[in-house]
Structure 1
Amino acid sequence: MLFNHIKQNAFAKGIHIDRINGYVDHAHCLVFLKPTQTINDIVQLIKGESAHWFNQQANAPPSKLQWQSDYFAVSVSESAIPNVQRYIDNQEAHHQRKTFLQEYNAFLKYHGFSETN
């Protein structure tokens, strides 16, 4: 429900979200940016509007949806797009094997950055 809304709202605002999916504590989007679009502007639009919409739904839980203020974004080469699409599509199965924090730290370590807690 939420991811469908995000994708439809983004499309109406000229944002091309190719894939969107997630797990209990995070979301992944594969977004094709136009030259005039910035990652920050798109993320803020998606987060702000989707939280507002979700919290207005009749069946929304009593605790409000609040996205974290930060986000993580990387560019993807054209040759990697099919792998990224599969990865996003298979979030539930993927996170049966590995938590988000484990995955994030492995990514950071692989690319030479310090791990986080």
Structure 2
Amino acid sequence: MPNTYSQIYIQVVFATKGRETLIEDKNRQEIEKYITGILTNKGQKLIAVYANPDHLHLFFSYKNLKITIPELVKIIKSESTKFINDKRLSFGKFAWQESYGAFSYAKSQKDAVTQYILNQKNHHQKRSFREEYLDFLEKFDINYDEKYLFEFYDKLE
């Protein structure tokens, strides 16, 4: 019987509502583990995750093609929001912004992307999230309208 095979590497980036710094470092790993479970339960293979105080990076092998990336992101956001609020892992009421970025990579880039995500804490000491995200859009040649980007409150540089 024929089968379908695929190997697609995807990085997804999304931000907290209002870009508030709602994810405390002491709760970061618990949130990451929960999101890992969501991806695993949806038939995906997580490679790297990092929950910054105001945004999240996921890098996974997109294996279950029966679920679209928008459906998957919606599930991750809604289930993790409920988990964070139920467990009170955030200051006040937690929510993610509606938008997200999804970027594809070749197998040869897997290690570099993984290290990039796992090194987020150091990375953001040198670069703002706005700079990082705009760089993704430019590197991937994505046309965008500023008014439809994440809610960025840091100054334009």
TM-score when normalising by structure 2? 0.66
User: Which string of whole-angstrom CA distances, capped at 9 and with x for unpartnered residues, describes residues 37-57 of structure 1?
Assistant: 311111011000010011001
Q: Which residue of 1 aligns with 2:134?
A: 105
2:59 corresponds to 1:39? no
Specify every segment of 5 or more residues in structure 1 that has no aligned partner in the other structure, as ranges.
Answer: none
Q: Which residue of 2 aligns with 1:28?
A: 57
- Shift, 1:114, TM fit: 5.3
**Distance across 1 between alignment mates of 2:132 and 2:145:** 11
- Shift, 1:106, TM fit: 2.6
Specify every segment of 5 or more residues in structure 2 that has no aligned partner in the other structure, as ranges.
Answer: 1-29, 147-151, 153-157
2:112 corresponds to 1:83? yes
Aligned with residue 11 of structure 1, among 40, 48, 53: 40
- Shift, 1:92, TM fit: 0.3
Give the 3 Å change call, closer, same or farther, for CA 75–111 of structure 1 in structure 2: closer
Higher relative contact order (CA 8 A, sep 6+): 2
- Shift, 1:110, TM fit: 3.9
Structure ranking higher in helix proportion: 1
Percent sequence identity is: 29
- Shift, 1:36, TM fit: 1.9
2:81 corresponds to 1:51? yes
- Shift, 1:65, TM fit: 1.1
Query: How many aligned residue pairs are there?
Result: 116
